[in-house]
Structure 1
Amino acid sequence: MEKKQIVLTGGGTAGHVMVNLAIIPILQREGWTIDYIGSKNGIERELIEPIKGVTYHSISTGKLRRYFSVENFKDPFKVLKGIGQTMRVLSKTKPQVIFSKGGFVSVPVLIGARLKRIPAVIHESDLTPGLANKIAVPFAKKVLATFPETLEHLPKEKTSWIGAVIRPELFAGNRKRGLRFAGLTESKPVIMVMGGSAGAQRINEAVRHQLDELTKTHQIIHICGKGNLDPTIHKFGYQQFEYVNEELPDLLAATDLVISRAGANAIFEFLALKKPMLLIPLSRQASRGDQILNAEVFEKQGYAHVLFEEDLTEERFLEKITGLIIAENQIKSAMMAYQRQDATERVIEEINRLAK
């Protein structure tokens, strides 16, 4: 190849961007010119656009709503518009390959890639594929899965299990730097609370209602989501952030236990860093149930305790945290036995193979 040109896509949530963030520095070192196709106002734009050397293109995209809305009737036309915009980007950039992390912004990109006869590879993080990837899979040459169980739900002839892609910078965190950034001390262990990039209102409320109990034994780093800060809380040993990016490795290094949703990318990162977890997956009323499956697998393997959102009361929440604290060493032992594959290298191999 005279010029190595690639288009990345994926968005809607931070989870649909993190793998792209992990591979971008590697692609740049290998001499790839990188364009990124995302939505106009999605979190992917906020995370990707500032990266030097990556050109961001926004397109029109639909959205899956699990409730009746007039917008559902407009979405097919938004996707058609997005396909046209994608094809114009592809005609201009002339990539040899497309890499997709999923989310509904990826659907018009994968369809446009097929129409332009550009090979595409999809990465599926969750145990079962989401609707966007289900739609996009027929337009892709290769699908890479994080869970081995995912192979049962995808075409065997084009799907491979590679394991989790973990951002290498997460391993470079510094505990003292993290404690200093959060305004915490070495006096007590730290619990990190994460509800995903958009936050989780019920988890936020449960944590804040139990702050007096939690801070008796632990300090709290609370990543509560955009617009979810509570400026009325001023408590020693409790620090809240809307969202963190560059400081996350240091905050994770300072963390002993995690309370989190059960998005696949996040929980595999916690596993790689050996952080025992209490997982509170999105309910089936608010999702397709993928986080519930992810959480159940991690609990079965001894990496996490699980509290279903339907059972989330203040008393049950505190009981589960107490159980996690008691089982911390047992969970860490199970995590130490986990053999992590270098999935990042496999992704890069597939990209290079398809580009040829």
Structure 2
Amino acid sequence: MIKKIIFTGGGSSGHVAVNLALIPHLLEQHWSVQYIGSEQGIERKLISGLEDVRYFSISTGKLRRYFDWNNFKDPFKVLKGISQAYRIIRKEKPDIIFSKGGFVSVPVVLAGWLNKVPVIIHESDITPGLANKISSIFATEICTTFPETTQYFRSKHTRYVGAIVRDELKDGEAAKGLTYCGFTRNKPIILIMGGSLGSKKINEMVWMNLEALLVHFQIVHICGKDQVNHSIHMHGYKQFEYINDELADVMAMADMVVSRAGSNSIFEFLTLRKPMLLIPLSKAVSRGDQILNAKSFKAQGFCEFLEEEELESERFVDMILGLYEKRSDYIINMKKMNADHSTSKLIDLIKVYT
């Protein structure tokens, strides 16, 4: 009998990455795989590339910890999403639901609980997001990337499984990345990215210091949606709004990375042994989870860490130069990390409930 699973999660690529890592394994094992996401979110774009995965869209509203006039209308969107998800789940009759988080996941998790379908949720960051905090009330199992995250959930069904990294990222070819970007091996290469939505502050800091950086490096810069600066054309500098199919090759090509500190991304860099300068989202615009992620990696000798409030030109350039000088030290520390079997552990857990 064919097993059926529904995945959910979205709003940013970080809320889709783990799902993208798990789905190919389940398809290979002849599972029926479906996905419930938002109508216009990035998850729809990412999942659309998977031919054997049927996508359902539902209404979703943002959950906020702060005052916003949209807080008065978004609950109605969430209620509509719950109703839509309930009908989808009742009709499709999945054996299990797997949720990666993000606002779209809450209606799906609640609808799964109402349909008496087992639900596994996964939290990537050290501290859980609001969506996963709410979803944890209705979850059968809660899985975490960091061992310390288990203390933030009240459920006794919480377990540390480790980081889930997409297999295809490990198969990148540096030569293809060089061709894609038009680079050579004459200078080292920095990959700069500000998360799936981009970072205006990091982008502007890069553009302000391009001439100084290009003396030493070639730079591939993932700017984020609608943030490419079309006025800049400099040898050794390549901009993209987003990279999807070629990302593994670009990451294989890069000697080091400048990035936000979202959990999924930094564990991918760690797996690929890429020295990092992490610039986490400020506490002023987030719950501070990326700061905790960066501090954890800094303590283990995997990265350098620069708070957004301290981001200014001279220090930015100096830290990049220092990171490159000491790159071998970071790589040695990364190699000491014991590779576990997080993906297979999570798939085994999914099978327990089906």
> Which residue matches 1:340?
339
> Which residue matches 1:307?
306
> Which residue matches 1:141?
140
Alignment partners' CA distance in 2, 1:243 and 1:75? 29
What amino acid is the match of 2:115? Answer: K
> Which residue matches 2:74?
75
What amino acid is the match of 1:317? Answer: F
**1:14-63 CA-partner distances (Å, limit 9, x unpaired):** 00001111111111111111110001110000101231011111111121
> How much has 1:285 moved relative to structure 2?
0.9
> How much has 1:156 moved relative to structure 2?
5.5
> How much has 1:326 moved relative to structure 2?
2.1
Alignment partners' CA distance in 1, 2:208 and 2:139? 47
Contact (CA 8 Å) 1:192, 1:258: kept in 2 or not?
A: yes
Contact (CA 8 Å) 1:163, 1:340: kept in 2 or not?
A: no
Contact (CA 8 Å) 1:162, 1:341: kept in 2 or not?
A: no
> Which residue matches 1:17?
16
> How much has 1:231 moved relative to structure 2?
1.1
Matched, 1:239 2:242: no
> Which residue matches 1:48?
47
What amino acid is the match of 1:71? Answer: N
**1:316-348 CA-partner distances (Å, limit 9, x unpaired):** 211221221222111111111011211111111
What amino acid is the match of 1:340? Answer: A
2:165 aligned counterpart, secondary structure: coil
What amino acid is the match of 1:117? Answer: K
Alignment partners' CA distance in 1, 2:67 and 2:152? 28
TM normalised by structure 2 equals: 0.98
Range moving further from structure 2, 9-18 or 63-72:
63-72
1:338 aligned counterpart, secondary structure: coil
Range moving further from structure 2, 66-75 or 156-165:
66-75
> How much has 1:68 moved relative to structure 2?
3.2
> Which residue matches 1:157?
156
What amino acid is the match of 1:56? Answer: Y
Segments ≥4 residues shifted beyond 2 Å: 64-69
> Which residue matches 1:119?
118
Provide the aligned C-alpha RMSD in A: 1.0
Alignment partners' CA distance in 2, 1:157 and 1:69? 34
Percent identical: 52
Q: How many residues align?
A: 354
Where does structure 2 lack aligned partners over 5 or more consecutive residues?
A: none
Where does structure 1 lack aligned partners over 5 or more consecutive residues?
A: none
TM normalised by structure 1 equals: 0.98
Matched, 1:98 2:97: yes
**Residue pairs, 1:1-356, within 5 angstroms:** 2-65=1-64, 67-155=66-154, 157-355=156-354
> How much has 1:67 moved relative to structure 2?
4.8
Contact (CA 8 Å) 1:276, 1:324: kept in 2 or not?
A: yes
Alignment partners' CA distance in 1, 2:243 and 2:204? 20
> How much has 1:248 moved relative to structure 2?
0.4
